[in-house]
Amino acid sequence: MMSDPAHAESPVIVARDGAVATITVNRPAVRNALNDATLGAIDAAVAALDADPDVRVILLTGAGDKAFVAGADITELSRATAVTGRTLAQRGQAVFDRIAAAGKPVIAVINGYCLGGGCELALACTFRFAADTAEIGQPEINLGIIPGYGGSQRLPRLIGRDRALDLILTGRRVTAAEALVLGLVTRVYPAATLRAEALAYARELAGKAPIAVRLALDAVRAGLEQPLAEALAHEAALFGLVSATDDMREGTRAFLEKRPAQFTGR
């Protein structure tokens, strides 16, 4: 695995393993809490990797074995006013929107506490793989606030209104096992094998046709926000686009020739 040059103090570390890149939130001393500098570093890393054609899947995790991201930086948060609080929320939402709109899968590798802003960060990802020891929740209500980085919107869209309100209004944490039942996480693995399992899955996705992956993400995301007739029309338009790619020719030819396809992203 190759790492980009980074000091140990860097809030984010980016590493590459072939077509898979890993973004690690690197503030283990404060359980990888999100401050403004960390949000900026995540934003820059995602933008660069999303634009890199050699990267096909992004993993997002936290440094150490205690936390994915345990929440926002309370020191910064405690100074918020009506004006700066709105700006803070909009800042986090913009960063997480970039993740949610990425043209390649982004997998949250939840290796520990995933709370508040950390849960919202995971919600913005395509998939959420959790260690069996992870704890997940939106405990902002216990600070006298509400989720501000998209949690009040993405959580009910993912698990339904009532279940989302139960978590948001009580602020309770759920185990990885309960999160799986709720549909909050995609898969649960033993903590010792979580990263290896996530990497194996990412490598599998990286072998798929990248244009088809990007258009499939687009079709599902857009379709969930559209009436069915509009969503079907959008799907048909995207199917037309993908039908003109070299990867489509290679994929169908490989199937007929009974051999593995070699996709090039063209």
Contacts of 232 (CB under 8 A, 6+ apart): none
**Residue 265, domain member (yes or no):** no
Q: For 197, phi and psi rounded to 5 degrees?
A: -65, -40
Tell me the whole-structure pTM to 2 decimals: 0.93
Claim to verify: residue 241 and residue 153 sit in the same structural domain: no
Structure-block tokens of residue 250? 């290679």
What percentage of the chain exceeds 90 in pLDDT? 90
User: Which pLDDT score, from 0 to 100, does residue 77 have?
Assistant: 81
* Spatial distance between the Cα atoms of 124 and 96, rounded to a whole number of angstroms: 6
Catalytic residue among 9, 120, 197, 250: 120
Contacts of 116 (CB under 8 A, 6+ apart): 70, 71, 72, 137, 138, 139, 140, 147, 151
Q: What is the pLDDT of residues 57-76, one digit of tens each?
A: 999 999 999 999 998 888 88
Structure-block tokens of residue 55? 């990267």
Please check the confidence at residue 2 and state whether its pLDDT lies above 70. Answer: no
Q: Is 120 one of the annotated active-site residues of the chain?
A: yes
CATH number at residue 162: 3.90.226.10
- Give me the DSSP letters along the chain: -EE----TT-SEEEEEETTEEEEEE--GGGTT-B-HHHHHHHHHHHHHHHH-TT--EEEEEESTTTEEE--B-HHHHTT--HHHHHHHHHHHHHHHHHHHT-SS-EEEEE-SEEETHHHHHHHTSSEEEEETT-EEE-GGGGGT----SSHHHHHHHHH-HHHHHHHHHH--EEEHHHHHHHTSSSEEE-GGGHHHHHHHHHHHHHTS-HHHHHHHHHHHHHHHTS-HHHHHHHHHHHHHHHTTSHHHHHHHHHHHTTS-------
Is 3 or 130 the better-scoring residue by pLDDT?
130
For residue 4, what pLDDT band results from cuts at 50, 70 and 90? very low
Q: Is 235 one of the annotated active-site residues of the chain?
A: no
Q: What is the pLDDT of residues 83-140, one digit of tens each?
A: 999 999 999 999 999 999 999 999 999 999 999 999 999 999 999 999 999 999 999 9
Q: What is the pLDDT of residues 240-265, one digit of tens each?
A: 999 999 999 999 999 999 999 999 98
For residue 79, what pLDDT band results from cuts at 50, 70 and 90? confident
Claim to verify: residue 21 and residue 111 sit in the same structural domain: yes
Q: What's at 150, amino acid-wise?
A: G
**Residue 75, domain member (yes or no):** yes
User: Which pLDDT score, from 0 to 100, does residue 197 have?
Assistant: 98
* Spatial distance between the Cα atoms of 61 and 12, rounded to a whole number of angstroms: 10
For residue 80, what pLDDT band results from cuts at 50, 70 and 90? confident
**Residue 192, domain member (yes or no):** yes
Q: How many domains does the chain have?
A: 2
For residue 78, what pLDDT band results from cuts at 50, 70 and 90? confident
* Spatial distance between the Cα atoms of 153 and 90, rounded to a whole number of angstroms: 13
Claim to verify: residue 7 and residue 125 sit in the same structural domain: yes
Q: What is the pLDDT of residues 170-212, one digit of tens each?
A: 999 999 999 999 999 999 999 999 999 999 999 999 999 999 9
Say whether 56 sits in a helix, a strand or coil: coil
Claim to verify: residue 171 and residue 235 sit in the same structural domain: no
* Spatial distance between the Cα atoms of 209 and 265, rounded to a whole number of angstroms: 6
Average pLDDT value for the chain: 94
Q: Nearest CA to 187 among 133, 136, 132, 135? A: 132
For residue 68, count CB atoms less than 10 angstroms from its CB and return exposed for 0-12, middle for 13-18, buried for 19 or more. buried
Q: What is the pLDDT of residues 92-102, one digit of tens each?
A: 999 999 999 99
Domain of 229? 210-256
User: Which pLDDT score, from 0 to 100, does residue 8 have?
Assistant: 58
Rg (CA), the chain: 19
Claim to verify: residue 112 and residue 194 sit in the same structural domain: yes
**Residue 77, domain member (yes or no):** yes
For residue 6, what pLDDT band results from cuts at 50, 70 and 90? very low
User: Which pLDDT score, from 0 to 100, does residue 125 have?
Assistant: 98
What percentage of the chain exceeds 70 in pLDDT? 97
**Residue 152, domain member (yes or no):** yes
Please check the confidence at residue 35 and state whether its pLDDT lies above 50. Answer: yes
Structure-block tokens of residue 124? 């913005």
CATH number at residue 252: 1.10.12
Catalytic residue among 76, 140, 197, 204: 140
**Residue 264, domain member (yes or no):** no
